[in-house]
Amino acid sequence: MQGEAGNTAEQSIAYVVDDDDSMRAAVSLLLRSVGLRVEAFATAQAFLDFDKPDVPSCLILDVRLKGQSGLAVQEQIAAGELSVPIIFMTAHGDISMSVKAMKAGAMDFLAKPFRDQDMLDAVSGALAQHEAQRNVDRSKADLRRCYELLTPREREVMAFVAKGLMNKQIAAELNLSEITVKIHRGQAMKKMESRSVADFVLKAEALGLNGAPGAGAQARK
């Protein structure tokens, strides 16, 4: 099932899932009034089946849906590969329900009727968080791609550099000449796109390298 209209694939998207036609339409209209792309669904399954573009997004989810609770949908999302901030809305919320939702990672929990500005603020915060997380994920993916270019020996050298060892010490650890270590370190820094040892070390730490044998395997996890 396709969502109820939208603009370009590059826009941030607010997904709205509510089996109440009037509420779904009202929330969609509110969000479109500030220029957001909206995809609205009457069922959670329709949302889960929707082909979602890779753009900043958030999910506005009713807690009580026909045949399935919003909290169950939250669990499905957490168990899968989809990563999207969730804003719950309900006319039947209680403290225990909201606590459970927030502990499971929900961004916000709005009781109906809510103020328009409260919804807009919640969506703005959720989209900003998702964009920040996507940037972090892209950065990590770029690091892993660079790391995969390293030879096993270059990975060993990188791990020891991250531990703080000098070239002479690394040479002794690996039973290599110091000049060979320098060559491996230079090649590793080039592949990791590091112009300084400090940046090289920071990237090694971001990959989880600790200087110990087998650190390369840890970074690939």
**8 — pLDDT class (breaks 50, 70, 90):** very low
Q: Is the pLDDT of residue 65 over 80?
A: yes
Domains of the chain in sequence order: 13-140 (3.40.50.2300), 149-220 (1.10.10.10)
Q: pTM of whole model > 0.75? A: no
Measured CA to CA in angstroms, residue 141 lies from 17, 50, 118, 216 at distances of 31, 25, 34, 15
- Residue 31's pLDDT is what? 96
**pLDDT confidence band for 95 (50 / 70 / 90):** low
pLDDT mean over 130-141: 87
- Asked if residue 211 has pLDDT above 50, the reply is no
Cis bond upstream, residue 53 (ω within 30): no
Q: Assess whether pLDDT exceeds 80 at residue 214.
A: no
Q: What are 97-130's pLDDT values in tens digits?
A: 777 777 767 888 888 889 999 999 999 999 999 9
Q: pLDDT, tens digit, for every residue of 138-148? A: 888 899 999 99
- Average confidence score pLDDT of the chain: 85
| 38 SS3 class | strand
